[in-house]
Amino acid sequence: MSSIAQHSTSGTVTFEPLLFFFLAAMAVTTAVMMVVHRNPVVSAISLIGNFFCLAGFYLLLRAQLLAVLQIAVYAGAIMVLVVFVIMLLNLGEEQSPAFRLGFRTVIGTGLAIGFVLEMLYLFVLTPFTEPLRRDIQAGAGVGTVEAMGAALFSRYLFPLELTGMLLLAAVIGAVILAKKRLT
């Protein structure tokens, strides 16, 4: 049972809510840095930090397998690919355009303000601890290795096999194309 579910009304604060809010602040910070920073390598590193924050969220939800896969697949393999592409492109300095108040800026600002107002309403004006307790208790075993394995090898067996065949065909095609270039 989660310590959030054990949270009493006596005013004591447990570790999990503090960790959640820390991870949330870090996730928002790294996401903003990723979008705003001009250096693509710093943006890629910020995205890696964001992936680690998401893995922390998965661990808080007791989804250990998803947390490990998040780090191994996204923060590991895909981000290495992204960093290699950035390095191969060898992006130079670009001229910064003058700021204009256009249609996209107005729409984006309106959506951002709406999102902030929605989050304020959700977290400040509504009591959200009771639905959170029910959700945690209902999804206690969803992200475990056993639950994921049972779902993959029963309900999703055909899509899993289809994906395996597609990846095998891609590897065979890559080997054939590489062999033609070498000879």
- How do residues 87-111 score in pLDDT, each as one tens digit? 777 655 656 666 677 888 888 888 8
44, 33 Cβ separation under 8 angstroms: no
Percent of the chain with pLDDT over 90: 17
pLDDT at 162: 92
Among residues 21, 14, 11, which one has the least CA distance to residue 119? Answer: 21
Instruction: Give residue limits of the domains in the chain.
Output: 1-91+103-140, 144-183
Question: Comparing 136 with 40, which gets the higher pLDDT?
Answer: 40
Find tokens 């602040």 and name the residue. 25
Domain 1-91+103-140 sits in CATH at: 1.20.120.1200
Which three-class secondary structure state does DSSP give residue 99?
A: coil
